Amino acid sequence: MVHDNKMILKGLNVEELKSWCIDNNLSGFRADQIYEWLYLHGVNNPDKMGNLSKKCRDAIHNTQSLSTLKLISKTVSENKQTVKYLFQTTDSYLLEAVSMITESNRHTVCVSSQSGCNLGCDFCATAKMGLLKNLSAGEIIDQLIMIRRLSNTRIDNVVYMGMGEPFLNYSNVIKSAKILNNQKGFNISVNKITISTVGIVSKIKKFIQDEERFGLAISLNASNDNVRDVIMPINKKWSIQDLIEVNKSYVKKNKRKRITFEYVLMDGINSSSEDAIELSKILQSAKCKVNIIPYNETDGKYKRPSDGIINKFIKTLSLNNKNNNFQIMVRWSNGLDIDAGCGQLAITNNKGE
C-alpha cells in the first residue's frame, strides 16, 4: 500500500519487516524492535522509537508512512459504555469501529474489515453502502491502535463484526489477527479474537485447512432456506445444509472448539415458535453454539420482536435442545442509541472528500 509515494509500514509482520530492513541496509534484528513499537506500543513517530539507530529512524522517515487512518468523529452512548468511531483512510474511504466496555469491565472492540459490503443482506445497514474497499491489515490494526490510545484502556476481546465480510478480505483479516495475537503485538489470546462470516464456505474450508485457531462465527439468521434466500442472498450459493456440513468438518478438526451460529431475531421473519423448533432440528447434529441477537432496528422494514416473543423463542429453543447438543447464548447489543449495534453500522456519505 502506498501513501504520498511512501509505502505503509503498518500491517507488515516480522518477516516482512526483516525484508524491509535488509532492503534498506539495516540489521535484521531491527524488525523485532519496529514491530513492538508499531503494535505493542502503538507509536507512529520514528523519533519516539528510542532503541532504534538514527540510520533506522531516518530510513523510516524517508521511505515509510506509519499512519493509515485519521479520526473523523467519536460518538458516545448515553451510558458511556459504548463508543462508535468514524475513521477515514488515507485514500479517503470511511469506516466505523465500536468500542464496548462490559459490566465485568472487559473491553471489546468490533472492527471493520471492509469499507461497505457487497453481499446485500436485506436487514443490514452496511449492505446499503455497497463495497467500497477492502481494508489493508494496517488499516484493520490501526482501528485498534487508535481506540486503545483514545480510550486509554487495554483491549481484551476483538470481534471482526463491523463493516464488511471478513472472509472476502481473508488474507488481510488473518494477517491482522495474527498481529493481534502475537505476544509482541497486542498479545490477545486466539480465544478472544472472533471472525464472523455470512458463510463463505470456500474460505471457511481454507480457515479449517490452515488450522487457524481464532474463534469463528457464522451468521445463520434463518431456520430454512426459503427465508434465508430472501434475507441473505449468499444462501443461494451456500445453503444452510452446506453450513452444517462445514461445521462438522470444523468440529472434526477442532475437538475442543465450536463454531458460533449467530441468529438475528426479526419480528415476523424468523421469530416464531415454529422457527425455534426448526432451528433446534438443524442444530441437533451440529455440536455448536447458537447466539440469539434481538434485531437492532435501522430505517428499514425489519423490526425487533417484543420481549415476550423473544423470550418465548428462547424458551422453545431450549426445550427442544435435546441432550444439550448445542449451547444457547443471548446477546443484547450495546450502543443502540448511537446506531452502534450489530447490523447498524453505515455511512451515508460513502467516501469522504
Catalytic residue numbers read 96, 342
∠ at Cα 172 (157, 189), nearest 5°?
25
Q: Give the span between the Cα atoms of 331 and 265, in whole angstroms.
A: 11
With a CB cutoff of 8 Å and minimum separation 6, the contacts of 293 are 262, 263, 264, 265, 330, 331, 333, 342
Amino acid at 175: K
Close Cβ partners of 249 (under 8 Å, ≥ 6 residues apart): 205, 208
Taking residue 63's Cβ as centre, other Cβ atoms within 10 Å add up to 14
* CA triple 108-112-113, angle to 5 deg: 130
Ramachandran angles phi, psi of 254, nearest 5°: -120, 90
Distance (Å, whole) CA 143 – CA 232: 28
Are 125 and 298 within 8 A, CB to CB? Answer: yes
- State CA 240 to chain mean position distance: 22
Q: Which of 166, 175, 170, 177 is nearest to 218 (CA)?
A: 166
Q: Nine-digit cell at 352? A: 469522504
Say which residue the cell 457464522 belongs to: 218
